[in-house]
Amino acid sequence: MSRTRIKICGLTRVEDTRLACDLGADAIGLNFYPGSKRFLSTERALPIRAAMPAFVSAVGLFVNAGRGEVEAVLEALHLDCLQFHGDESPEFCRSFSMPYMKVIRVREGLDIKAEISKYSDSSAILLDSFDKNAFGGTGLRFDWEVARRCVQDGDAKIVLAGGLMADNVATAIEQVRPYAVDVSSGVESAPGVKCAQRLTAFFDEVNRV
């Protein structure tokens, strides 16, 4: 089994970003969705992006943003990957001519395989829990068996999210064998404020598997 990569999402503080990178984060998620408690303006995102060392990817998270909104962020700071967490079409996602990750929120009755096939040129598919009132960061879990089957199908690099924390991430990795795990609320003391102890414990558990 190859190493499971780690993305820490919803960073709002420079000190948390530095710690996550020091612990071994492969990617840092910067949230540009105004409806999120972890929202960053481009002005607030700049020092966080500057705190990231080489070889750590900066991922910009958008939810049903207009083209102009995405382009304004891309003009203001360098991103390595775009993460689309809303109802964006495949055409919109690929139109920026850069790597992108599409989020699929798992819910009953959804044909996951068909959804993944729509975004066949994505760099990865992130599977997250469905909540009608929020786009991610809810701390809710979904059935990991769904994710395991997606990994076995081999149609995409699967990033597992939704309700992950130090207490369950090792079990999740053993069951699903995802390409990467993505955590936000599971390592926080408050929305957007990462807890050093929870972050450290999360990395320890991932590295233990």
Beta strands 27-31 and 193-194 are unpaired
Angle at which helix 42-50 crosses helix 14-23, to 10 degrees, equals: 40
Catalytic residues: 9, 128
DSSP secondary structure string, 55-79?
Answer: T-EEEEEESS--HHHHHHHHHHS--
Using the structure block, give the residue that is written with the tokens 């081999």: 154
DSSP, collapsed to helix, strand or coil, labels residue 43 as helix
Are the CB atoms for 193 and 19 separated by under 8 Å?
Answer: no
DSSP state of 165: -
Q: With b meaning 16 or more CB within 10 Å and e meaning fewer, what string describes 120-144? A: eebbbbbbbbbeeebbbbbbeebeb
Contact status, residue 165 vs residue 141, Cβ threshold 8 Å: no
Q: Are 146 and 176 in contact (CB under 8 A)?
A: no
Give the C-alpha separation, 101 to 119, whole Å. Answer: 9
